Chains A and B, each alone.
Chain A
Amino acid sequence: MNMPRFRIPILAVGFALLAASACETLQKGVGAIDAQSAKVQSVAKVAKQIRSTFADISEEEEYYIGRAVAANILTRYDVYNNEGLNLYLNAVGAAVAAYSDRPETYAGYHVLVLDTDEVNALAAPSGFIFLTRGLLKRCKDEDTLADILAHEIGHVCAKHGLQSIRKSRLTDAFKLLGEQAAQKYGPQELAQLTGVFENVLGDIAEKLIERGYDRKYEYEADELAAEFAARMRYDGGGLLDFLGTMAKDSTGSSDKGWFKTHPGPQDRIGRVKGQVKTFMREKVRTDRFRAAFRGLK
């Protein structure tokens, strides 16, 4: 058999396959060609046509929104500065986040305690989570704490903060953002964008701090909390215990914090009860919880 006579057809077929692959590669945009300037310009040109909903907000944008929402929360409350407690809360938060639907955000999940007797828990976009001292005092063990953190992480996973932004704001924002491909904004664009940014923050703060998320978002966060807790093998019954405690709380009549921004605890218990999975609350967890909470005012 004379092998060399196969060379030309084989090479020709090969080149054809390679050319076809290359065309497909270009069409799929798999990154074989780096982001050349023409492409960047073109992408910028069409960006405003593409981005239309909260889901199109990038991780980095969500992070800057979350930072500013967090700063607004921190103007209303002092921080309870307890390093040991903070480390413990962040370990529980990191563990729950790792088994959530969205383990990684732009700069990760972080938990901080607010120094107030008011009962409240707030989750700003991108993973800035705040628990009040008043809420922590109503937690009796790590499983309950983890379930509450799982609820807050659920809000971040489902982007409930970003969903609170009015559609008209997003339309304004994306219109402005899509027109700019520059690394730095000029003074006029920056002033316009800052205005839109303020409005976006206003929408989120109104829901998160003032009025509370829509009930459907709270129910969804409860469902997610039950699911994340089960993945962790934390006892989902901790959430029911906490809600039960809140139902009996004598401060429940006050129109403040958690009571103002969340649906009634009995209503929530009724809805999530069937989805909660129970696990043994290991003594080792309760012991380390007590050690971290020792001295909590």
Chain B
Amino acid sequence: MRKPIRPAAVAVFWAACAVLLLAETVVVKIQSTVLRKEPKFYAQTLVNLRSGEKLEKLASQQGWLQVRTAAGAVGWVHESAVDTKSFNLLAMDKSMKTQASASEVALAAKGFNKQVEESYRAKHGNLSFVWVDRMLNIKVPAAELEKFLKAGRLAEFGGAR
């Protein structure tokens, strides 16, 4: 004799399916960022995230989003690093019954990119990007930032008014 299915278990199963399908996705819109263990810029890095990577939004807290990566890692990204805005393509193109994120629109439309910069540089030989690239290499690691804030008694490590 077959074992009966419990209605509660079935309900839980379908609820889980619905939650998975209705989960909100955000897209990394900057060159790279990291998934952090806590909602702080100096928190421990869990994994590196690249532009265009899709993340499942789980929760939000004062400008930070708790997300899950495709590989299952759960952590925090700042909302300024991801795109949550979506455009209703249905209103503009009857053939596509969906929406697209701002990042997808920008990616599909391309835009001012490396190729355009190279073309601009070829036309303006007097311009040098050497120091532009050098300044991009000046980076403040998360551990240094925390040390700097703590030592200077800043923000949450801060002193009195």
In the bound assembly, the distance between CA atoms of A40 and B103 in angstroms comes to: 11
Chain A contacts of B93 at CB under 8 A?
42, 45-46
In the bound assembly, the distance between CA atoms of A94 and B159 in angstroms comes to: 19
Q: Are A70 and B138 interface neighbours, CB within 8 A?
A: no
Interface hub of B87, B123, B132, B153 (most chain A Cβ within 10 A): B132
Q: Are B113 and A231 interface neighbours, CB within 8 A?
A: no
Q: Are A128 and B132 interface neighbours, CB within 8 A?
A: yes
**B70: min CB distance to chain A, Å:** 10
Q: Are A48 and B30 interface neighbours, CB within 8 A?
A: no
Q: Which one, B2, B111, B151, contacts A177 given CB within 8 A?
A: B111
Q: Which one, B13, B90, B101, B149, contacts A14 given CB within 8 A?
A: B13
CB-contacts of B98-124 with A (<8 A): 98-117, 119-120, 123
Q: Are A63 and B110 interface neighbours, CB within 8 A?
A: no
In the bound assembly, the distance between CA atoms of A288 and B152 in angstroms comes to: 9
Q: Which one, A27, A72, A181, contacts B108 given CB within 8 A?
A: A181
Q: Are A95 and B160 interface neighbours, CB within 8 A?
A: no
CB-contacts of B78-105 with A (<8 A): 78, 80-81, 86-87, 89-90, 92-93, 95-105
Interface hub of B17, B99, B140 (most chain A Cβ within 10 A): B140
Q: Are A42 and B95 interface neighbours, CB within 8 A?
A: yes
Pull 18 A–B residue pairs with CB atoms less than 8 Å apart, ordered by A: A4-B4, A14-B10, A18-B18, A25-B21, A29-B100, A42-B93, A45-B93, A60-B112, A74-B132, A95-B149, A101-B80, A103-B80, A107-B136, A178-B109, A190-B119, A194-B120, A198-B123, A285-B154
Q: A35's closest neighbor in chain B, by CB?
A: B104
Contact with B along A1-45 (1 / 0, CB 8 A): 011101100110110011001101111111111010011111111
Q: Does A218 contact B (CB under 8 A)?
A: no
Q: Are A26 and B97 interface neighbours, CB within 8 A?
A: yes
Size bracket, chain A contacts: 35 or more
Chain B contacts of A38 at CB under 8 A?
96
Q: Are A91 and B145 interface neighbours, CB within 8 A?
A: yes
A-B pairs with lowest CB-CB distance, top 4: A3-B4, A233-B158, A58-B106, A29-B99
Q: Are A91 and B144 interface neighbours, CB within 8 A?
A: yes
Q: Are B109 and A51 interface neighbours, CB within 8 A?
A: yes
Q: Which one, B13, B112, B136, contacts A61 given CB within 8 A?
A: B112
Q: Does B59 contact A (CB under 8 A)?
A: no
Chain B contacts of A231 at CB under 8 A?
155
Q: B27's closest neighbor in chain A, by CB?
A: A31
Q: Are B131 and A3 interface neighbours, CB within 8 A?
A: no
Q: Does A232 contact B (CB under 8 A)?
A: yes
Decide: A110 near B108, CB < 8 A? Known: A94-B145, A142-B152, A279-B161.
no
Interface hub of A3, A13, A24 (most chain B Cβ within 10 A): A3
**B122: min CB distance to chain A, Å:** 9
Q: Are B155 and A99 interface neighbours, CB within 8 A?
A: yes
Q: Does A291 contact B (CB under 8 A)?
A: no
Q: Does B54 contact A (CB under 8 A)?
A: yes
Contact with B along A241-279 (1 / 0, CB 8 A): 000000000000000000000000000000000000111
In the bound assembly, the distance between CA atoms of A111 and B132 in angstroms comes to: 10
Q: B80's closest neighbor in chain A, by CB?
A: A104
Chain A contacts of B103 at CB under 8 A?
58
Q: Does A49 contact B (CB under 8 A)?
A: yes
Q: Does A204 contact B (CB under 8 A)?
A: no
In the bound assembly, the distance between CA atoms of A92 and B49 in angstroms comes to: 25
CB-contacts of A181-195 with B (<8 A): 181-185, 190-191, 193-194
Q: Are A27 and B144 interface neighbours, CB within 8 A?
A: no
**A101: min CB distance to chain B, Å:** 8
**A230: min CB distance to chain B, Å:** 9
Q: Are B17 and A68 interface neighbours, CB within 8 A?
A: no
In the bound assembly, the distance between CA atoms of A13 and B18 in angstroms comes to: 12
Q: Does A282 contact B (CB under 8 A)?
A: yes
Interface hub of A46, A185, A234 (most chain B Cβ within 10 A): A46
Chain B contacts of A26 at CB under 8 A?
97-98
